[in-house]
Structure 1
């Protein structure tokens, strides 16, 4: 069993590009293990990033999901172009949202 926090991530289409509401919406659910408290990070982002609540949550969750996969897949060259930039971005976020 992986150590850390295990999250269930869910995504559901609530409105299509044309503004219509689907009667049978597409959805996706998966589990993700993180060494960090993602919900705590979302709260810090909401309080200190200057972004609105939804944007703060999207940035926090997206960054943590991508970052964790990159850590686990450190030998995969797919992520090489992102490594330095993501590391710098996360360091900047931590400074702006420190509590």
Structure 2
């Protein structure tokens, strides 16, 4: 399977009470069959959320859905697959600035 490779880095900036946090970083590599960066850019142009919110949604959803796809035979993902499919279809419809046929690469 052809896939894009990404380095994902999450760095803690503040704690729950707004206090500065330093040195807490999680970094890992992930593969995905889609161009996640391109998808986030298209989502930013179409969804009514701020850029950081759209990036969080797009990246989180694409990382999660890729794991669900790869692990589709694991019983843990069986219950979420129908709801995940419905959510992605609804998101594509909500963000449809173009005809549905051209939204294949949105998610």
Q: TM-score, normalised by structure 1?
A: 0.89
Cα deviation 1:45-93 (Å, max 9, x = unaligned): 1111111111100110011001000110011111122111111111122
Number of paired residues? 97
Over aligned residue pairs, what C-alpha RMSD do you find? 1.3
- Find the counterpart in structure 1 of residue 55 from structure 2: 57
Structure 2: tracts of 5 or more residues without a match: 99-107
Structure 1: tracts of 5 or more residues without a match: none
Q: Which runs of 4+ in 1 moved over 4 A?
A: none
- Find the counterpart in structure 1 of residue 25 from structure 2: 27
- Find the counterpart in structure 2 of residue 5 from structure 1: 4
Q: TM-score, normalised by structure 2?
A: 0.83
Quick one: distance in 2 between partners of 1:42 and 1:86?
Answer: 18
SS in 1 for 2:20: coil
Displacement after TM superposition at 1:3 (Å): 2.1
